[in-house]
Amino acid sequence: MSQSPEPNSNQNSHLEQHHLGSGDNVANNKNVNSYYSEIGGDFNVIEGNVTHQYIITQQSSIEIKQRELITGSPYKGLEKFEEGDKDKFFGRDSWIVELTNHLIEKNVLLLLGASGSGKSSLVQAGLIPKLKDHFGSNQLVNLTFVPDVNPFESFYLPLAIKYGQAEAKLSREVAEETLVKVVQALRNESQWLIFIDQFEELFTRTPKRERNVFINSLIQLIGKQDHAIKIVMTMRADFLDKISPYPSLGNIYQAYNCLLMDMEDSELRLAIAEPAARNGVIFEQGLIEQIIDDFKQQAGSLPLLQYTLDLLWNKSKHEIEKRILKRETYQQLGGVTGALQQQANKIYDSFNEQQQKVAEQIFLELISLEGKEPVSRRVDKTIFEGDKTQKEVLYELIDNRLLVSKGEDGKATVEVAHEALIRSWKVLTELIREKETIIILRNRLYADAKQWDEVRKNDLNRAKGELWRGSKLAKIIELRKEKALPNLDEVTIEFIEASIEEREHEQRAELERQKRDKRNAQRIAAGSLIAVLINSSLGWMAWQKTKQAELNEAESLGRYALSLVRNEGRDLDGFMAAIKAQKILQKHDRTNPVVINALQQLLNDRKERNRFIDHQSWVSSVAITPDGKTLVSGSEDNTIKVWDIDLDSLMQRSCDWVRDYLENPYSDVKEEDRGVCDGI
């Protein structure tokens, strides 16, 4: 972009260079005929600019329109401001001074703020240029990164650019001493700025082991209190609860946090008007006030404001030639509230039905949920490039700046351009509401797959315990058959396949056990038959033995049922075992307190209203009268209760819980067990 000419000597009397922190105030040189005053601004509340720029809006509107016309948009849209955008970044002057002073004095800054409050842009286009003014551009080494799956690898990337891969490779070691070692080996006499942008990604992207090690490594480095190392972290304020398991991070928060507040009207006027004025363009009277009013209606998203201004500029080619941005064009865009949605709808509506479905699948993969709050997630771009249609839609979304693609560690990643899109675009808000269950299940799937992958590197047998079973696995298999999860990564696919393989192994083992038990029963029965032929009394004894073996099996199944649910989380398998046990008892017209307790406790765990509801704690023991009609229960609350038993109702409620799985051909119920509740 071409630079504006220097003001003439006459203008210099009221257009001095202003540098924040020097004690100067723009009001000392204000021009009562300035354009800034025309749009309702007051220079008494605006301090000078921090990067040796002229405040162009001090000129009159006539003088601004006589400047060299620059037709390219001066607004950033949904993109973050970078260090090179300092000449387009306005309105945060007092914050730049405050944060600079804080960092010079304390070495560490944790900048908190809402999504869309401009945290990253303030650091990149405001704080870093100011620090370079303070320390010298050649002296300050800017090491900026966003933590990913491995934050040590993320830190390696800016180090490799500055110092080369060979020198930077020590930063890749996942160890608590790593950051201190890197500083000792590479810093020399330079001043370092380590900027960890989107610090919340440690809690959404990084597995627990790497996260814990990195946090401990960072705390060690902060503890050195080295004035040659300045550390800045930006984090969304709604992620503050994530640091509670880390007392050391809590201490960092207490000592070094700053909460970024919304921009005031005077700051917004400068942020809106000054970039256009530098290009020789002004706003129609009253338009800036309308934009500010609309902005406040939209929860104060600065990227959304920048997007609207960028769109307004690009839709105003004719007006720009006349050097004025018009209210009519702004209103046609839908204002700040509707501009992004209108543009996103235009792109979405240009797709055919198949492409729209593909676009929805892409967006779903790029959205996560933190509680009920939708957030953007960064993924490997290659997972979308295997299918031709998906690849075409992906690049169309990137070209139209709804998605952003970046290169990291030799890999390309993609993410939603800004969370303002997730919150403001009706297509996405409705999609998230409709697919909320799938998003939550997929997030759990990704987290458990990562955990399994970490465990299997050290212990394959222990990794089997991380695999999915029961209803969760059945649901994932069902969703994959419906092609509702088309873009799973390689590790997650391996995790699902390993879970299915382990389930099949357990089913084969169970089938073998049943066959073995059946053969044993047949041998006992055959022996009993022979014994009958020899001696009827011996035959009766053998029959009793077989009966007792089955009753023992019923009791074992009752104990096994509770173990499956409480120790392994296999709810469905637990109910199946308990129902089988009770059916054995019904066959012999017997009752067993272990089996009844199992059915009662399983229903209790499912929040089912049951006959033990008067107890205030777990039921620890039960006993049944010889006639099988009365049950006595003892609880950990030191109470004993007497109950009438309705076993038919107990079985009915148990079968009601599992019936959907029995009737679902995709569930992981064994075929021979699907009729277990027939007639109940």
What whole-number distance in Å separates Cα of residue 391 and Cα of residue 382? 9
Residue 284 structure tokens = 């129609």
Alpha-carbon Rg for the chain in angstroms: 34
Bridge-partner residues for 232, per DSSP?
A: 109, 195
What whole-number distance in Å separates Cα of residue 211 and Cα of residue 202? 6
Within 8 A by CB and 6+ apart from 441, the residues are 472, 475, 476, 479
What whole-number distance in Å separates Cα of residue 156 and Cα of residue 540? 79
**DSSP characters over 545-577:** HHHHHHHHHHHHHHHHHHHHHHHH--HHHHHHH
What whole-number distance in Å separates Cα of residue 566 and Cα of residue 562? 6
Lowest mean pLDDT among 381-395, 444-458, 479-493, 542-556: 542-556
pLDDT of residue 609: 35
Percent of the chain whose predicted confidence (pLDDT) is above 70: 79
**Choice between 152 and 543, residue whose per-residue pLDDT is larger:** 152
> If you search the block for the tokens 């006349």, which residue do you land on?
322
Q: How many of the other CB atoms lie within 10 Å of CB of 200?
A: 22
How confident is the model over 130-149, as a mean pLDDT? 93
Q: How many of the other CB atoms lie within 10 Å of CB of 575?
A: 26
Lowest mean pLDDT among 89-93, 263-267, 480-484, 646-650: 646-650
Q: What is the DSSP letter of 86?
A: G
Give residue 366's identity as a one-letter amino acid code.
L
Please, what's the b/e burial string for 83-92 (b: 16 or more CB within 10 A of its CB; e: otherwise)? bebbbbbbbb
What whole-number distance in Å separates Cα of residue 76 and Cα of residue 310? 7
C-alpha dihedral, 642 to 643 to 647 to 652, nearest 10°: -130
Closest-CA residue to 336 (of 284, 272, 261): 272
pLDDT of residue 641: 67
Residue 602 structure tokens = 């399983």
Closest-CA residue to 219 (of 240, 206, 233): 233
pLDDT of residue 368: 86
What whole-number distance in Å separates Cα of residue 527 and Cα of residue 266? 98
For the segment 209-257, what is each residue's pLDDT rounded down to a tens digit? 899 999 999 999 999 999 999 999 999 887 888 888 899 999 999 999 9
For the segment 160-176, what is each residue's pLDDT rounded down to a tens digit? 999 999 999 999 999 99
**Choice between 129 and 20, residue whose per-residue pLDDT is larger:** 129
Bridge-partner residues for 624, per DSSP?
A: 631
Largest CA distance in the chain: 130
**DSSP characters over 372-412:** TEEEE--EEGGGGSSSHHHHHHHHHHHHTTSEEEEEETTEE
Closest-CA residue to 50 (of 77, 73, 24): 24
pLDDT of residue 369: 83
Q: Work out the burial of residue 576: count CB atoms within 10 Å of its CB; fewer than 13 is exposed, 13-18 middle, 19 or more buried.
A: buried
> If you search the block for the tokens 């996405």, which residue do you land on?
428
What whole-number distance in Å separates Cα of residue 620 and Cα of residue 638? 10
Q: Determine the 3-state secondary structure of 506 from DSSP.
A: helix
- In this prediction, residue 191 has a pLDDT band, given cuts at 50, 70 and 90, of very high
What whole-number distance in Å separates Cα of residue 290 and Cα of residue 278? 21
Residue 150 structure tokens = 């491995």
For the cut 60, the answer to whether the pLDDT of residue 31 exceeds it is no
Do 378 and 367 contact (CB within 8 A), yes or no? no
Lowest mean pLDDT among 56-65, 138-147, 599-608, 670-679: 599-608
**Choice between 607 and 600, residue whose per-residue pLDDT is larger:** 600
pLDDT of residue 28: 43
Within 8 A by CB and 6+ apart from 657, the residues are 575, 602, 603, 606, 608
For the cut 50, the answer to whether the pLDDT of residue 14 exceeds it is no
What whole-number distance in Å separates Cα of residue 107 and Cα of residue 53? 27
Q: Determine the 3-state secondary structure of 40 from DSSP.
A: coil
**Choice between 442 and 82, residue whose per-residue pLDDT is larger:** 82
Within 8 A by CB and 6+ apart from 610, the residues are 600, 603, 604, 653
pLDDT of residue 20: 33
Do 615 and 641 contact (CB within 8 A), yes or no? yes
Q: How many of the other CB atoms lie within 10 Å of CB of 550?
A: 16
Sign (positive/negative) of CA torsion 64, 68, 72, 75? negative
pLDDT of residue 233: 98
Bridge-partner residues for 634, per DSSP?
A: 621, 640
Beta strand ranges found along 568-678 (DSSP E): 619-624, 630-635, 640-644
Q: What are phi and psi of 368, to 5 degrees?
A: -125, 170
Lowest mean pLDDT among 108-122, 364-378, 437-451, 607-621: 607-621
What whole-number distance in Å separates Cα of residue 173 and Cα of residue 151? 10
State how far the alpha carbon of 664 is from the alpha carbons of 27, 474, 527, 655, in Å: 75, 9, 41, 14
For the cut 70, the answer to whether the pLDDT of residue 647 exceeds it is no
What whole-number distance in Å separates Cα of residue 270 and Cα of residue 303? 16
Q: What are phi and psi of 93, to 5 degrees?
A: -55, -50
Q: Which stretches of 107-207 are DSSP H helices?
A: 119-122, 128-135, 151-163, 165-168, 178-186, 201-204
**Choice between 395 and 128, residue whose per-residue pLDDT is larger:** 128
pLDDT of residue 11: 33
pLDDT of residue 527: 64
Please, what's the b/e burial string for 624-650 (b: 16 or more CB within 10 A of its CB; e: otherwise)? beeeeeebebebeeeeebebebebeeb
**Cα 273 from chain centroid?**
35
The bridge status of strand 229-236 relative to strand 411-416 is unpaired
What whole-number distance in Å separates Cα of residue 393 and Cα of residue 182? 42
For the cut 60, the answer to whether the pLDDT of residue 48 exceeds it is no
Give residue 671's identity as a one-letter amino acid code.
E
Percent of the chain whose predicted confidence (pLDDT) is above 90: 34
How confident is the model over 498-513, as a mean pLDDT? 84
Beta strand ranges found along 439-561 (DSSP E): none
- In this prediction, residue 617 has a pLDDT band, given cuts at 50, 70 and 90, of low
How confident is the model over 286-315, as a mean pLDDT? 86
